[in-house]
Structure 1
Amino acid sequence: MIVIGGGSAGYAAARTARDSGADVAIVDPGPLGGLCILRGCMPTKTILRSAEVAALMRRAGEFGFAPVEVRSRLGAIVDRKNTLVREFADYRIQQLRDPAFTLYESAARFISPQLIQAGSRHLTARSFILATGSIPRDVPIPGLREAGYLTSDELLDVREQPDSLIVLGGGPVGLELGQFFSRIGTRVTLLQRSLHVLSHLDDDIGSTLEQALREDGMEVLTGVSLLRASGGGRAKTVEFLHQGETKSVTGAEMLQALGRRPNIDGLQLGAAGVKVDEDRVVVDGTLRTSQPHIFAVGDVTNLYDIVHIAIQQGELAGFNACHPHGPPKEFDDRLVTEVIFTDPQVAVVGLSEKACRARGVPYLTASYPFADHGKAMVLGSTRGFVKLLAAPETGRLLGAAVVGPEAGELIHELIAVMYYHGTVQDLVRMPHYHPTLAEILTYPAESLAEQVRRA
């Protein structure tokens, strides 16, 4: 087997195939480590922790301490991030260079469905797994390239704090990085084309987060049409249409966070006979492409840009590639989970209300606010809510959303219940320690259990 790409998805595929007895080569041009470690999950969560500390220090008076003047040192924050990322990356590189694999540190391109070129070498294998990840998407906004912008890849290495920042896009990347810079003292304006940030989720999630960000001092404008960009250097201007009026905003830096696209440049997938649809590699439920011996996993499929799902896909594809004559494993999207590490955090699992309506799935829903929850009040973290969705006849948990403190941790209790096809009645019966944040899950569960009894 040849795995093209040594990030989280690629390494998971290679490890699974090796454990199944395959002779595995990994082809990656570097830098080794993958998006999650180098430019995604780990570096962003490291700097967000610094912003959380700064925000809490500014609230010292609420908790009985003398007010604290917080002055950020962006260079020191970046240094801490780099130290941790290097440690994470070194461990991954050690795994990739394990003698159990053959590692080729070069780009790969297909010459035929069975043959690739990796540097000066020609390599062939019984099966291939594409795991080349994603890159920032170019967007056709007049003047944007000339004005100059940063992507999330580049913004993570900025050491001189800008006094103002324009963020284009209200998805997870734009929101997390926008709030980070706002909390360390940069004036941030976020422009979102949809009516709410996080437009792929339910509207109540986006509106709740928008309100929190505005209360923290960010300017968040939604429902905008981006017209053009101009300027350059330390004065970049974006013109846009908002509520029927043409407006503009100027900032020292601009973050283009309008999405990423599968990284397939240079692979020559046409030579391999692999079907591509709008840059994404098309796969079936077993992660096979249009060529039965070629699989694709992670961001390159453009199904989910979430690392733990990429790892699951890598393991599944690695297994299927090594067992061509057995019943294949299929990816199950029932427990798809997403966490956005803003403050308040956002975490979702399973079906949303939008998804239920689109698929014609009947559901009951109930929610409960953190503002009325004792432990949240003690912590001073009362923004947000918990929402559960359940099947009307049985109470089986269909999905959930948590917007609030430690949402990324709280969602895992709901994942566990859903993993075992549990119900809201199960949530009610399970003991919950008092006082804890997790207790809040029982309140909408009680409401739904009562609705199910009446149904």
Structure 2
Amino acid sequence: MKRVYSVDVAIIGAGTAGMGAYREALKYTDNILLIEGEQFGTTCARVGCMPSKLLIAPAEARHNAEKFSAFGLLGHVPKVDGKALLQRVRDERDRFVGFVKEAVDGFRDEHRIMAKATFIDDNTLALSNGDQVKAKRIIIAVGSRPNVPKMFDAAGDRLITNDDVFYWNDLPKSIAVFGAGVIGLELGQALHRLGVRVHIFGRDNITGPLTDPKVSQYAYSTIGKELPFHGNAKISRIEKHNEQVAITFQSHAESEIVTEHFDYLLAATGRRSNIDKLDIENTTLTLDHLGIPVFDRLSMQCGDSHIFLAGDVNNDIPLLHEAADEGRLAGENAGRFPNVFKRARKTSLGIAFTSPQIAVVGKSFNELTSQSVPFSIGEVSFEDQGRSRVMLVNKGLMRLYGNSESGELLGAEMIGPEHEHLAHLLAWCIQLRMSVADILQMPFYHPVIEEGLRSGLRDLLQQMGMGPQPPLHCIDCGPGA
């Protein structure tokens, strides 16, 4: 017999956003249903940020061995045992997923149900097991999936997504990576450093999350010196050829048309919202051109309705920490509805764990130029930065943006060594609304990579007309700073 649940809050999706929403909504009501359609375990833990870093770590360790001779060390680059390497990736991945499952198992049984949900109307959900849910408030947190362009179908069973990589039992000999965003760059470079023949195919010479033309070009050139990186290749044909995929392309306008064969074609061309699986058109919500409900990112509320949107499903900022924040915000507002409050969002922070690392913090170059904000740009190269040269990681360019009227730091785009740490420092400074002059009063040790940041900030201060021309190789910085 069909069961009809009557709840205060229904949460569709038990990933990072859904779990955060559940914990927050539980503070306001005990009448909750958490609905998961496939499997418990977040995208990050199962096929995203954690398993990708498990692949990057051995790739970096092996790549570092290639520098032995430059340090005056004698040794050999280690051979790769693909089966053992990927076994560790899967084992550790399963361990991370296990932590998520333990968390979900800690939720009360009567609050959880395994079924797929679709909308019948604004307050009614149909479940794939035949049951129905009547909900006063609904949180949509169904996440996203890999976006695979139709043209890739020609690759047949040679076509894979990044989700598939982490279920491999061994490394392939070759792979064509389509997409030069964060996923494509991270996986492409890691596989290359593990001995796989890799070509990366991008579009419009876009490199990762970068929007600053100067930093983007530097990143494109730097990565392109390590492995074949076709930033704007013209693809004329993709076809399966025996147990490989044949790709015919022209790398740039002056080059010849060539055909390369690979074991796989990896589609790393972004992700798409799972909203299209919910029959969202059965609601009265206003949808945008992608079919996603229009929502307020400061409250996660869709219009003035009782429905909230959180996590990757909203196609806003597909990052774990953002999904967690959005889930908590949606859960709070769904719990206290109709008293919906807005909350200030944290400073934007995005990092690609390539080598050198790529990061965008605060306002991007594109955001600032499109908003006509009066800003100046400070710049620093890490090619001659002391600590970076000592460690033979002296590749990098940082561009910092400051308000030329208030002196406030607004944002930065960068590629360079250990820049995941510099990006965090800058994000904290931006969130505290610190001026460039105030940041320069903070302590800088010697010799550290952070001294390069100080050089960039000094240049920015001068560019804003708020400080003198920075001294060349200033003595207070220490030699080689």
TM-score bin (small chain): over 0.9
Partner in structure 2 of residue 427 of structure 1: 439
Could you tell me how far apart the structure 1 residues matched to 2:412 and 2:145 are? 30
Contact 1:345 1:408 in 2 (8 A): yes
TM-score by length of 1: 0.94
Q: Quick one: which of 367, 372, 375 aligns to 1:363?
A: 375
Cα deviation, 1:226-253, whole Å, max 9, x if unaligned, reads 3331124432112234433544322121
Structure 1 position 68 matched with structure 2 position 71: no
Q: Percent identity?
A: 27
Matched-pair contact (CA < 8 Å) for 1:273–1:290:
no
Q: Secondary structure at the match of 2:359?
A: strand
1:153 to 153, 159, 163: 163
Contact 1:370 1:385 in 2 (8 A): yes
Question: Aligned pair 1:307/2:320, yes or no?
Answer: yes
For residues 322 and 199 of structure 1, do their structure 2 counterparts lie closer, same or farther at Cα, with a shift above 3 Å needed? closer
Q: Specify which of 113, 135, 146 is matched with residue 145 of structure 2.
A: 135
Q: Per the alignment, do residues 386 and 359 of structure 1 end up closer, same or farther by CA in structure 2, a change over 3 Å counting?
A: same
Which residue of the partner structure matches residue 204 of structure 1? 214
CA contact (8 A) 2:120 2:282 kept: yes
Out of 30, 50, 59, the residue aligned to residue 51 of structure 1 is 59
Q: 1:117 aligns with which of 126, 130, 134?
A: 126
Give the TM-score normalised by structure 2: 0.89
Secondary structure, counterpart of 2:342 in structure 1:
coil
Which residue does 1:341 correspond to in 2?
Answer: 353
Does the 8 A contact of 1:3 with 1:13 survive in 2?
yes
Q: 1:385 to 1:80 in 2, by over 3 A?
A: same
Which residue is equivalent to 1:80? Answer: 88
Q: Give the Cα separation in 2 of the matches to 1:24 and 1:326.
A: 18
Q: Alignment partner of 2:151: what SS? A: coil
* Distance in 1, Cα, partners of 2:232 & 2:362: 27
- Secondary structure of the corresponding residue to residue 135 of structure 1: strand
Q: Is the 8 A contact 1:375 1:435 kept in 2?
A: yes
For 1:239 and 1:441, how far apart are their aligned partners in 2?
43
Q: Which moved more, 1:96-105 or 1:32-41?
A: 96-105
Report the more deviating stretch, 313-322 or 118-127. 118-127
Q: CA deviation at 1:154?
A: 0.6
Aligned length: 453
User: Per the alignment, in what secondary structure is the counterpart of residue 389 of structure 1?
Assistant: strand
Residue 280 of structure 1 aligns to a residue whose secondary structure is: coil
Counterpart in the other structure of 1:389 = 401
The answer for the alignment partner of 2:6 in structure 1 is none
Instruction: Report the CA distance shift for 1:259/1:233 in structure 2 as closer, same or farther (over 3 A).
Output: farther
Counterpart of 2:318 in 1: which secondary structure?
coil
Q: Cα gap change, 1:270/1:152 in structure 2, threshold over 3 Å: closer, same or farther?
A: same
Aligned to 1:264: 275
Label 1:369 to 1:177 Cα distance change in 2 as closer, same or farther (>3 A): same
Partner of 1:183: 193
Question: Aligned pair in 2 of structure 1 residues 81, 20: CA closer, same or farther (>3 Å)?
Answer: farther
Q: Deviation at 1:220? A: 0.6
Instruction: Pick closer, same or farther for the CA change 1:147–1:46 going to 2, 3 Å.
Output: closer
Give the corresponding residue for 2:332.
319
What is aligned with 2:104?
A: 96
Report the CA distance shift for 1:242/1:83 in structure 2 as closer, same or farther (over 3 A): closer
RMSD value over aligned CA atoms? 2.1
Q: How far apart in 2 are the matches of 1:308 and 1:412? A: 13
- Is 1:27 the counterpart of 2:39? The answer is no
Counterparts of 2:64 and 2:449, CA distance in 1: 19
Match of residue 252 from structure 1: 263
Cα 1:410/1:281, change in 2 over 3 Å: same
Distance in 2, matches of 1:22 and 1:329, equals 23
CA contact 2:210–2:413 (8 Å) conserved in 1? no
Alpha-carbon separation, structure 1, partners of 2:421 and 2:79: 30
Whether the 8 Å contact between 1:148 and 1:232 is mirrored in structure 2 is no
CA deviation map 1:131-167 (0-9, x unaligned): 1111111313275353731100112222232222111
Unmatched tracts of structure 1, length 5 or more: none
CA distance in 1, matches of 2:338, 2:153: 54
**What do residues 251-301 of structure 1 show as CA deviations (whole Å, max 9, x unaligned)?**
121111112100124311122333433243432232122461111111111
Counterpart amino acid of residue 160 in structure 2 = L
Instruction: Say if 2:24 and 2:335, in contact at 8 Å, map to a contact too.
Output: no
Residue 127 of structure 1 aligns to a residue whose secondary structure is strand
Shift of 1:184: 0.6
* 2:416 paired residue number: 404
Please give the alpha-carbon distance, in whole angstroms, between the structure 2 residues aligned to 1:137 and 1:39: 14
Unaligned runs of 5+ in 2: 1-8, 468-481
Name whichever of 168-177 and 86-95 sits farther off: 86-95
Tell me, yes or no, if structure 1 residue 376 matches structure 2 residue 385: no
Of 317-326 and 408-417, deviating more is 317-326
Which has the larger displacement, 59-68 or 260-269?
59-68
